[in-house]
Amino acid sequence: MATRTCLVTGSAGFVGSVLARTLVSRGWRVVGVDREPVPSWRECPDVSQVQLDLCDLEAVLALVGETGPEVIFHLAAQPFVPVSVAEPYATVRDNVLATTSVLEAARLHGVARVVHASSGAIYGSEPGEHTYFESDEPKVGANLYGPSKIAAENIVLAYSRTFGLDVRIGRFMNTYGPGDTSPSRIVPTAVCQALGGDCYDFGDRDDGSTALDFVYVDDVVAGYLAAAEVDDGALQGVYNFGTCDPVSVRDLVRAVSRLADGTEREPVFRGPVADNPRRKCLDAGRARKELDWEPRTDLMTGLRATVDWYREHLHA
Ligand X SMILES: NC(=O)c1ccc[n+]([C@@H]2O[C@H](COP(=O)([O-])OP(=O)(O)OC[C@H]3O[C@@H](n4cnc5c(N)ncnc54)[C@H](O)[C@@H]3O)[C@@H](O)[C@H]2O)c1
Question: Which residue ranges make up the site for another protein (CB under 8 A)?
Answer: 57, 85, 88-89, 92-93, 96-97, 100-101, 103-104, 107, 137-138, 140-144, 146-148, 150-151, 154-155, 157-159, 161-163
Neighbouring residues of 99: CB distance < 8 A, sequence distance ≥ 6 = 74, 116, 152, 155, 156
> What is the C-alpha separation between 173 and 69, in angstroms, rounded?
27
User: Quick check: 297 and 234 in contact, CB under 8 A?
Assistant: no
| Between 215 and 265, CB nearer to ligand X | 215
Residue nearest to ligand X (CB): 13
Among 8, 71, 92, 98, binds ligand X (CB under 6 A): 98
String of contacts with ligand X for each residue 118-137, x by CB under 6 A: -x------------------
Handedness of CA 43, 97, 177, 195 (dihedral sign): positive
> What is the C-alpha separation between 62 and 96, in angstroms, rounded?
20
Q: Which of 145, 200, 216, 310 is catalytic?
A: 145
Q: How far is the CB of 81 from ligand X (least distance, A)?
A: 10
7, 46, 146 from 29: Cα distances, Å:
9, 8, 32
Q: Choose among ligand X, another protein, none what residue 117 binds, the Cβ cut-off being 5 to 8 Å by kind.
A: ligand X
User: Quick check: 108 and 144 in contact, CB under 8 A?
Assistant: no
| Between 175 and 243, CB nearer to ligand X | 175
| Between 225 and 265, CB nearer to ligand X | 225
**Footprint on residues 33-62 left by ligand X (CB under 6 A):** 34-36, 53-55
Q: How far is the CB of 144 from another protein (least distance, A)?
A: 6
CA-based diameter of the chain, in Å? 58
| Between 85 and 300, CB nearer to another protein | 85
**Whether residue 145 lies in the annotated active site:** yes
Cα–Cα–Cα angle for 156, 158, 162, nearest 5°? 125
Query: Binding to ligand X by residue 15, rule CB under 6 A?
Result: yes
Residue 70 host element (H or E):
none
β-sheet bridge partners, residue 171: 118, 240
Q: Choose among ligand X, another protein, none what residue 140 binds, the Cβ cut-off being 5 to 8 Å by kind.
A: another protein
User: Quick check: 184 and 87 in contact, CB under 8 A?
Assistant: no
Q: Choose among another protein, ligand X, none what residue 77 binds, the Cβ cut-off being 5 to 8 Å by kind.
A: ligand X
**Footprint on residues 184-213 left by ligand X (CB under 6 A):** none
Q: How far is the CB of 51 from ligand X (least distance, A)?
A: 8
> What is the C-alpha separation between 42 and 66, in angstroms, rounded?
25
The rounded Cα 256 to chain-centroid distance in angstroms is 21
Query: Binding to ligand X by residue 12, rule CB under 6 A?
Result: yes
Interface residues toward ligand X, by CB under 6 A: 10, 12-16, 34-36, 53-55, 75-79, 94, 98, 117, 119, 172, 174-175
Active site residues: 145
